[in-house]
Amino acid sequence: MTDLYLIRHGIAAEHGTYQNDDERPLTQEGDRKTRKVASRLKELELEFDIILTSPLIRARQTAEILKAAGLSQQLEECAALAPGGNLHDWVSWYNNWKTTSAKAFALVGHQPDLGHWAELLLWGNFQESLIVKKAGVIGITLPSTGSPIGQSQLFWLTSPKFLLS
């Protein structure tokens, strides 16, 4: 069994403030809060074999913060994690990547995709039933064999509020 952590990027510059939406960076508050979340995750002794991130700046920055906090040694971009990306694309990546020693990995991405993917993994379909705040975390246990879709289990869903205050 492998644990998957879906992590939403931190608070970023408002939509529309950058000509290219992909380039919106974390705000100062977003950076600060994301660092706090990262150090809390480290305190909780989480460790990711790899962090895959959406290539968009705000996600990439979030992933760099997680790596810098010591949560993983490895960070890669994954196009399927950009907004509108397809679950099946990164599940194929996962099927290639996973080994018997893989314990946990993290994906850094966007809403509503992260919530949809989580629902697909848990129930096989989605209806926007999960609230995923910026810098929020979803923890899912993937089954050791067979497709993870509709066969996974949720062990954690939290907003920064419940992690930090």
Known binding-site residues for substrate equal 58
Q: Does 122 bind its own copies (CB under 8 A)?
A: yes
Name the 3-class secondary structure at 57.
helix
**DSSP state, 41?**
H
Q: Yes or no: say if 127 and 72 are a contact pair by the CB < 8 Å rule.
A: no
Q: Yes or no: say if 24 and 17 are a contact pair by the CB < 8 Å rule.
A: yes
**Amino acid present at 118:** A
Nearer to its own copies, 99 or 165 (CB): 165
Q: Does 1 bind its own copies (CB under 8 A)?
A: no
Helix (H) or strand (E) holding 7: strand 2-8
Per CB under 8 A, the segment of 26-34, 85-93, 101-109, 152-160 that binds its own copies is 152-160
Measure the CA–CA gap between 135 and 147, rounded to whole angstroms. Answer: 27
Nearer to its own copies, 24 or 136 (CB): 136
**Amino acid present at 67:** K
Work out how close the CB of 103 gets to its own copies at its nearest, in angstroms, rounded to a whole number: 16
- For the beta carbon of residue 130, count every other beta carbon within 10 angstroms: 20
Measure the CA–CA gap between 88 and 66, rounded to whole angstroms. Answer: 25
φ and ψ of 135, to 5 deg: 65, 20
Q: Does 144 bind its own copies (CB under 8 A)?
A: no
Q: Does 128 bind its own copies (CB under 8 A)?
A: yes
Per CB under 8 A, the segment of 7-15, 71-79, 86-94, 156-164 that binds its own copies is 156-164
Nearer to its own copies, 85 or 150 (CB): 150
Q: Does 153 bind its own copies (CB under 8 A)?
A: yes
Site for its own copies in 72-111 (CB under 8 A): none
Q: State the residues that interact with its own copies by CB under 8 A.
A: 43-45, 122-123, 127-131, 141, 150, 152-159, 161-163, 165
